[in-house]
Amino acid sequence: MNRFREISASEIEENILNLKQLTFEVTDACNLQCKYCGYGDLYYGYDKRESKCLPVSKAKLILDYLSEIWKRGNTNLERPTTYISFYGGEPLLNMQFIKEIVAYVENMNLNRDMTFSMTTNAMLLDRYMEYFVDKRFHLLISLDGDKEAQSYRVTKGGENSFDTVIRNVEELQRLYPDYFDKCVNFNSVLHNRNSVEGTYQFIKNKFGKEPTISELNNSEIREDRREEYDKTYRNKRESIHASENYRELSDELFMGEPETYDLLIFLHQYSGNVFRDYNELFVDKKKLRCTPTGTCVPFWKKMFVTVNGKIIQCERIDHSFSLGKITDNSVFLDTKYIADRFNSYLNKMKRQCENCCRQTSCTQCLYYIPDIDKPDAKCHGFMNDEEFKQYTSYCLSYLKDNPYLYKKLMTEVTIEQ
Ligand code: SF4
Ligand code: SF4
């Protein structure tokens, strides 16, 4: 039986109706020039950075468009929450945009709760903190650790941003401790000048927060900068294993530990004890049909609007995968076209996924498969029998070393589908 299915336009419409997050690329300008930036010269696959700002009028057009859909339709939830998120570049360079959009959203009288959030390098945070506290913004602050760890995050003049960022964040915590406690989080990038342990301990000790630690983006690296990339890249798993306090660190990181995350996916898929809904109690899971690859169906997680008015599935993928567009006076979002385009990618991968032993626990986003636009696109995550056996034995031996994780992962963690 063919276990794969295609997606439909109505599925996309339902996702838009239940949209969880709308993210605006407020500006493509930045006041820092981080050496490893995903929009920097190590990479390709994004629209040229031209110090542009997303026009407020275009952001209002998409909000009006969505509001019409939200008013007409019935969502799955009694009162859904949608995040309006501001992203860059550095969003604080276009504060006027943020204030206008927040005011606009507050006056829209939408039938859902709206929450505001922003990813920021915190260089200008001291100017606007009162506003963010007042609006209960959820802030995600980029900080790689101590001064040495932060030394790739430099100003245009090459100066380490550490002192300014720390001063601003300390000020925020000192003046608004309750807000800080509830609404502020940190994201760190791992590279050859920091370590998972150093960064984690620094931020935990200084601000009482557990940062999310990510590796450098490993797709769409420019060939002529590969050497530079390889020099800068550090593997998260290896960094954790290199720690003198590996055990304690691993326990503290919990889901931030890649091996624990792998075990979670493995147990949820293969233990036979996890059911996503009541239907799964009555049917053989293997007979349930799903889409190939591990890609989310468009707009299930979020909708991202670039500074050029392109509408994309999320901020982490190549801008050439835009699914719609906001022009000066209208929004073009054709759900049938989007479904067809998405299905054409899925169909291209179908044959490989059918033969892949990882198919029921796949986490591979199709937009990261090299040359997905070309007919001979190959997934590097493909697993044959032998590779799958190795993967199984790796997960089981990790579980054997950490038996307490079974109960913890099965009872404390859910995977959103
Ligand atoms: S990276 Fe891929 S799977 Fe993840 S949110 Fe973006 S589109 Fe979806
Ligand atoms: S890992 Fe396997 S199932 Fe997932 S996209 Fe690649 S080939 Fe398909």
For the chain, give every domain's residue range. 9-258+297-343
When pLDDT is averaged across residues 378-403 and rounded to a whole number, the result is 96
When pLDDT is averaged across residues 252-264 and rounded to a whole number, the result is 94
1 has a pLDDT exceeding 60: no
55 has a pLDDT exceeding 60: yes
Q: Give all strands (DSSP E) within 64-109, no chain letters.
A: 81-87
Length of the chain: 417
Please report, for residues 224, 274, 295, the alpha-carbon distance to residue 202 in angstroms, rounded to integers and kept in the order given: 34, 36, 34
Report H helices in 108-184. Answer: 125-134, 162-175, 177-183
26 has a pLDDT exceeding 70: yes
- Residue with CA closest to ligand 1 atom 8: 296
Six-digit token pair at 1?
Answer: 């039986």
3-state secondary structure of 319: helix
Q: Give the list of residues 6+ apart from residue 47 with CB closer than 8 angstroms, or none.
A: 28, 306, 307, 308, 310, 319
Q: Please work out whether the CB of residue 362 comes within 6 Å of at least one atom of ligand 1.
A: no
When pLDDT is averaged across residues 100-106 and rounded to a whole number, the result is 98
pLDDT, tens only, 104-163: 999 999 989 999 999 999 999 999 999 999 999 999 999 999 999 999 999 999 999 999
pLDDT, tens only, 218-239: 889 999 999 999 999 999 999 9
pLDDT, tens only, 70-95: 998 877 777 889 999 999 999 999 99
5 has a pLDDT exceeding 60: yes
Answer with the residue of higher pLDDT: 284 or 374.
Answer: 374
pLDDT grade, residue 47 (50/70/90)? confident
Answer with the residue of higher pLDDT: 272 or 11.
Answer: 11
291 has a pLDDT exceeding 60: yes
Superfamily of chain region 9-258+297-343: Aldolase class I (3.20.20.70)
Q: Please work out whether the CB of residue 139 comes within 6 Å of at least one atom of ligand 2.
A: no
| Cα dihedral 54→60→63→65 (10° resolution) | -110
Residue 154 is classified by DSSP as: B
290 has a pLDDT exceeding 70: yes
Please report, for residues 50, 67, 257, 313, the alpha-carbon distance to residue 28 in angstroms, rounded to integers and kept in the order given: 7, 26, 32, 18
When pLDDT is averaged across residues 368-381 and rounded to a whole number, the result is 91
Q: Please work out whether the CB of residue 346 comes within 6 Å of at least one atom of ligand 2.
A: no
Quick one: pLDDT at residue 417?
Answer: 56
Quick one: pLDDT at residue 269?
Answer: 87
Q: Are strands 113-120 and 138-142 parallel, antiparallel or unpaired?
A: parallel
Quick one: pLDDT at residue 380?
Answer: 93
Q: What is the mean pLDDT of the chain?
A: 94
Residue 186 is classified by DSSP as: E
Q: Are strands 310-312 and 324-326 parallel, antiparallel or unpaired?
A: antiparallel
The percentage of residues in the chain with a pLDDT greater than 90, rounded to a whole number, is: 84
pLDDT, tens only, 191-211: 999 999 999 999 999 999 999
Q: Please work out whether the CB of residue 366 comes within 6 Å of at least one atom of ligand 1.
A: no
Quick one: pLDDT at residue 347?
Answer: 93
pLDDT grade, residue 416 (50/70/90)? low
Ligand nearest to the CA of 290: 2
What number does the ligand 1 atom closest to the CA of 313 have?
Answer: 7
When pLDDT is averaged across residues 161-179 and rounded to a whole number, the result is 98
Q: Is the pTM of this model over 0.85?
A: yes
Q: Give the list of residues 6+ apart from residue 33 with CB closer than 8 angstroms, or none.
A: 40, 154, 155, 156
pLDDT, tens only, 296-354: 999 999 999 999 999 999 999 999 999 999 999 999 999 999 999 999 999 999 999 99
Q: Give all strands (DSSP E) within 159-264, no chain letters.
A: 184-189, 212-214
Q: Please work out whether the CB of residue 313 comes within 6 Å of at least one atom of ligand 1.
A: yes
19, 302, 317, 321, best to mutate for ligand 1 pocket (most atoms within 8 Å of CB): 317
When pLDDT is averaged across residues 269-291 and rounded to a whole number, the result is 81
Quick one: pLDDT at residue 360?
Answer: 86
Q: Give all strands (DSSP E) within 89-135, no chain letters.
A: 113-120
- Residue with CA closest to ligand 2 atom 8: 353
